[in-house]
Amino acid sequence: MKLKVEENNYEINIGQNIDQELKDYLSKNKNRKIALISDEYVYFIYRNRLHNILCDFDYDIFTFPQGEKSKSMKTYSEILEFLSENDYSRGDVILAFGGGITGDLAGFVASTYLRGINFIAVPTTLLSMIDSSVGGKNGINFNGLKNQVGTFYFPEYVHIDYSFLDTLKKRDLNNGLAEMFKYSVLKDKNLFEILKNNEKLDYEYLIHRSLEIKIEFVKDDIRDKSIRQHLNLGHTIGHGIEGLSKYEINHGEAVGIGLIYVSRAAYKLGIASEPFYKDLIEEFKKYNLPTEYDFKTDEILEIMKHDKKIKDNKINLIIPTEIGNTISKTLSFNELKNIIELGKEI
Amino acid sequence: MKLKVEENNYEINIGQNIDQELKDYLSKNKNRKIALISDEYVYFIYRNRLHNILCDFDYDIFTFPQGEKSKSMKTYSEILEFLSENDYSRGDVILAFGGGITGDLAGFVASTYLRGINFIAVPTTLLSMIDSSVGGKNGINFNGLKNQVGTFYFPEYVHIDYSFLDTLKKRDLNNGLAEMFKYSVLKDKNLFEILKNNEKLDYEYLIHRSLEIKIEFVKDDIRDKSIRQHLNLGHTIGHGIEGLSKYEINHGEAVGIGLIYVSRAAYKLGIASEPFYKDLIEEFKKYNLPTEYDFKTDEILEIMKHDKKIKDNKINLIIPTEIGNTISKTLSFNELKNIIELGKEI
């Protein structure tokens, strides 16, 4: 199943066991060198499959330790050095193979090495398949804050093979489902019903539908100044929780908790119904997703002060009103504080 | 005198003693914080003027040691840290005050901090006024190679006040004139005649005309894939010389020498006349610009292998045929080697 992102000139290919299609894609430019960037763990699991895909090409491998800690200025510099030492030129290509951390790191490298080198994303986690591999955002953590440094830069090709999900731990799979719930709350009642009722998940459909929703919000606002900010549903509080937990709570989980808090606050403000947030909690529990996190409001506000979309000391919060509908509110930090307090269970 | 760059949505303001106009521009967004980035030396010279311009705003100052050495991953990280520690948000603005090094460093920071923050360029050297402040390229040196890491990112406003040239050393002024000669060879016989005959240089006209030429080459090819590469005239060999001299030869000087070598080779290849390159040498001598540099061809080729525009082991060389005209040749490294040898004086 293919999805063309006309606006930014790239193609997303979704399928199962489609290594040959990646090979065919790479064969179109036989002369390019390929820099495979991956984390040690994912590379180790798939090393044979990767060598089969890449054996006909001139390629080099760079791996780094798995985990959020690698999304750093240090690893960024190391990858740049690796490319420079191996004489990579602008005509060559970086292939990111892994989850969101790999894609964000490799994408940032791709956008800045020689002011931009070709970039292919092969996401291997559900979360990166439906979120970070598409939309052009990349980055590293800096000064203790998430994604503080990065760019907007698009891959030329995104290869989504959901057979890679077979090796994913249950918790990591659910991490992706939380973000999928976010898409459903944003835009699609039907998707919510599917997630609610489905015994066996149809990944091809779910990934495709999630990306359709994402692309709709991104295409007219790449630089995240207006409509794209709706994708941030659950993220404002979620990023704070992720940070406070020192990434013990992973991204999808944290966004899920953020979504519940903001939905509960919406109910208390009288703009959403009670069953709405209670339904969410029930569904999250089914998927073993956490639904709360204990934090001090002032601590989380401290992290939010570094939100990338703050302007004139105001922050935009995306608030759901029902499944399939959200509004954007520009708030002072005092108003935000009240909403977070409302979001906590009493 | 104003120049609007419609394609990339920014304005260039050229004048003399126009501090008030900068102040007026900044007053349009009174709520933004301003991060002034400058080198220690330039900041020291202009600290009073700068404080007069900025006194009505909320601003912070970051300075770094003058010189090419500061165009590094280290200084880049330090500026990012400075912004993060001072809670700069995306709505705030970076103001680069200084020469090309300052603009390149601050521009790279601006394009990557929070995935892009507002950016104003106030170039203070002739070279940065007519070249690096316009066109969107930025970057740092890496792994011993020039501008290996950077992005394409446009300022929102370029403020060119040529009264800043008053404190420039003669050699640095001439450094800019070499790049101006390049523009004349590229596109404008009349500009060449003016540079040849003028006793007292009319900076307003010269800066304006140089930028017009630059913008013409940039506007349809921001990412430097075709027509923009003509601006590289003199740079292929020039970058090599700059590197070999460990930046003892400065950028404009090196480009000037590169221009002479490629013009002499063009004569020997029978595509340019003898008076053409001899004229150039004569003019350069009038301005105390160096016209040769002693190097081994293999050494310079080693540096050229890292040229950002290499594709499939071929490099594009821009060759002048007469004042106002250039051609682009795609060459193997062996062919390039021959041309460099031809360019040397025998």
Q: How confident is the model at residue B240 (pLDDT cuts 50, 70, 90)?
A: very high
Of B342, B151, B146, residue with least CA distance to B251: B146
Task: Give percent of chain A above pLDDT 90.
Answer: 86
Interface touch B80/A149, C-beta < 8 Å: yes
Angle at A267 between CA A325 and CA A280, to 5 degrees: 65
Task: Give percent of chain B above pLDDT 70.
Answer: 100
Phi, psi angle pair for B13, to nearest 5°: -115, 120
Q: What is the token pair recorded at B220?
A: 């349809």
DSSP B152: B
CA of B309: which chain A residue's CA is closest? A90
CA of A309: which chain B residue's CA is closest? B90
Rounded to an integer, what is the distance from CA B62 to the centroid of its chain? 22
Using CA atoms, how far residue B8 sits from A112, A238, A240, B218, B222, in Å, is 20, 35, 35, 10, 9
Q: What is the token pair recorded at B124?
A: 């203070």
> What pLDDT, on the 0 to 100 scale, is given for residue A200?
84
Give the pLDDT confidence of A300-325 residue by residue, as tens digits: 999 888 888 788 889 999 999 999 99
> What pLDDT, on the 0 to 100 scale, is given for residue B310?
83
Name chain A contacts of B154, Cβ cutoff 8 Å.
none
Residues B274-299 have a mean pLDDT of 94
Q: How confident is the model at residue B63 (pLDDT cuts 50, 70, 90)?
A: very high
Residues A177-202 have a mean pLDDT of 92
Interface touch A91/B311, C-beta < 8 Å: yes
Q: Any bridge partners for residue A113, and if so which?
A: B149
> What pLDDT, on the 0 to 100 scale, is given for residue B305?
85
Average pLDDT in chain B: 94
Is any Cβ of chain A less than 8 angstroms from the Cβ of B145? yes
> What pLDDT, on the 0 to 100 scale, is given for residue B200?
85
In chain B, what are the domain boundaries? Answer: 2-167, 170-343
A193 pLDDT higher than 80:
yes
Is any Cβ of chain A less than 8 angstroms from the Cβ of B301? no
Is any Cβ of chain A less than 8 angstroms from the Cβ of B330? no
Enclosing H/E stretch for B31 = none
Q: Reduced to 3 DSSP states, what percent helix, strand and coil does chain A have, rounded to the nearest 5?
A: 50, 20, 30
Is any Cβ of chain A less than 8 angstroms from the Cβ of B308? yes
Q: Is A178 exposed, middle or buried (0-12, 13-18, 19+ CB in 10 A)?
A: buried
User: Which of A92, A115, A224, A313 to mutate: most B Cβ within 10 Å?
Assistant: A115
Is any Cβ of chain A less than 8 angstroms from the Cβ of B173? no
Interface touch B80/A31, C-beta < 8 Å: no
Count of beta carbons in the 10 Å neighbourhood of residue A191: 23
Contact, A62 vs A79, CB < 8 A?
yes
Distance from CA of B31 to the nearest CA of A (A): 6
Is any Cβ of chain A less than 8 angstroms from the Cβ of B298? no
Q: How confident is the model at residue B220 (pLDDT cuts 50, 70, 90)?
A: confident
CA of A305: which chain B residue's CA is closest? B87
Phi, psi angle pair for B119, to nearest 5°: -145, 130
Average pLDDT in chain A: 94
> What pLDDT, on the 0 to 100 scale, is given for residue B1?
86
Using CA atoms, how far residue B256 sits from A189, A207, B253, B274, in Å, is 65, 55, 5, 17
B294 pLDDT higher than 80:
yes
> What pLDDT, on the 0 to 100 scale, is given for residue B313?
85
Predicted ipTM beyond 0.90 = yes
Give the pLDDT confidence of B320-337 residue by residue, as tens digits: 999 999 999 999 999 999
Give the Cα separation of A167 and A287 in Å (integer): 18
Compute the count of residue pairs across chains A and B with CB atoms less than 8 Å apart. 103
Is any Cβ of chain A less than 8 angstroms from the Cβ of B85? yes
Superfamily of domain A170-343: Dehydroquinate synthase-like - alpha domain (1.20.1090.10)
A153 pLDDT higher than 90:
yes
Q: What is the token pair recorded at A117?
A: 């080198």
Residues B280-297 have a mean pLDDT of 94
Q: Which residue has the higher pLDDT, B6 or B123?
A: B123
> What pLDDT, on the 0 to 100 scale, is given for residue A308?
82
Q: Which residue has the higher pLDDT, B111 or A314?
A: B111
Q: What is the token pair recorded at B154?
A: 């446009």
> What pLDDT, on the 0 to 100 scale, is given for residue B224?
87
Structural fold of domain B2-167: Rossmann fold (3.40.50)
Interface touch B115/A77, C-beta < 8 Å: no
Interface touch B143/A87, C-beta < 8 Å: no
SS3 A273: coil
Q: Which residue has the higher pLDDT, B8 or B270?
A: B270
Interface touch A87/B311, C-beta < 8 Å: no
Is any Cβ of chain A less than 8 angstroms from the Cβ of B143? yes
Task: Give the gyration radius of chain B's Cα atoms.
Answer: 20
Interface touch B116/A81, C-beta < 8 Å: no
B198 pLDDT higher than 80:
no
Domains A2-167 and A170-343 share a fold: no
Task: Give percent of chain A above pLDDT 70.
Answer: 100
B127 pLDDT higher than 90:
yes
Give the pLDDT confidence of A55-75 residue by residue, as tens digits: 999 999 999 999 999 999 999
Q: How confident is the model at residue A218 (pLDDT cuts 50, 70, 90)?
A: very high
> What pLDDT, on the 0 to 100 scale, is given for residue A22?
98
